[in-house]
């Protein structure tokens, strides 16, 4: 079983959209294919926004991870969010998540990212455990969000 990662391209849109729909369904988040497709095209067409890597086991796509860039004075430059991280159900609990985290952390350093943030659902104990083992820490702060679009 060889796990490797490739930068997504526009040709990968159908596979990515299918996985994103499955990802959003886990927590019953709304999913609009047309809006997500346009957002993906914008993102994939502008590398200053971040990266989307497809996760492969041998020659089969088994997941994806999205790293989006920001900037922080606290972290002295570029920071990033792991905005989405998804492994297909049949491929979970096989060490792929751990390998994906290791890959993303290494790639982020090469992309001059000084800090990475992520959100994890409170019920996602397996994800939380993976992130803590990967060196992420909970802070004494809350991440607050205000959506500016409808």
Return the biggest CA–CA distance within the chain. Answer: 43
Alpha carbon distance 91, 70 (integer Å)? 31
Is residue 150's pLDDT more than 80? no
pLDDT of residue 132: 93
Residue 135 pLDDT grade (very low, low, confident, very high; cuts 50, 70, 90): very high
pLDDT digits (tens, 9 = 90+) for 28-81: 999 999 999 999 999 999 999 999 999 999 999 999 999 999 999 999 999 999
Phi, psi torsion values for 68, nearest 5 degrees: -110, 140
Distances (CA, A) of 3 to 51, 112, 120: 18, 24, 24
Read off the tokens for 146: 């205000």
Reading the block at residue 83, the tokens are: 């905005």
- Domain parsing of the chain, residue ranges: 3-133
Q: Is 1 a residue whose pLDDT tops 90?
A: no
Residues 74-122: pLDDT tens digits? Answer: 999 999 999 999 999 999 999 999 999 999 999 999 999 999 999 999 9
Mean pLDDT of the region 7-27? 98
DSSP 91: G
Please give the class, per CATH, of domain 3-133. alpha beta
């Amino acid at each position: 079983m060889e796990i490797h990662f490739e930068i997504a391209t526009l040709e990968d849109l159908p596979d990515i959209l299918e996985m994103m729909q499955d990802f959003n369904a886990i927590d019953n988040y709304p999913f609009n294919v047309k809006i997500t497709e346009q957002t993906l095209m914008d993102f994939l067409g502008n590398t200053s926004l971040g990266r989307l890597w497809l996760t492969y086991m041998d020659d089969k796509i088994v997941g994806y991870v999205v790293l989006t860039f920001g900037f922080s004075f606290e972290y002295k430059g570029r920071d990033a969010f792991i905005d989405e991280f998804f492994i297909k159900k049949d491929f979970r609990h096989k060490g792929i998540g751990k390998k994906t985290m290791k890959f993303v952390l290494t790639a982020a350093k090469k992309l001059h990212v000084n800090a990475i943030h992520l959100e994890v659902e409170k019920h996602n104990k397996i994800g939380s455990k993976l992130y803590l083992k990967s060196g992420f820490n909970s802070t004494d702060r809350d991440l607050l969000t205000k959506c500016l679009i409808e």
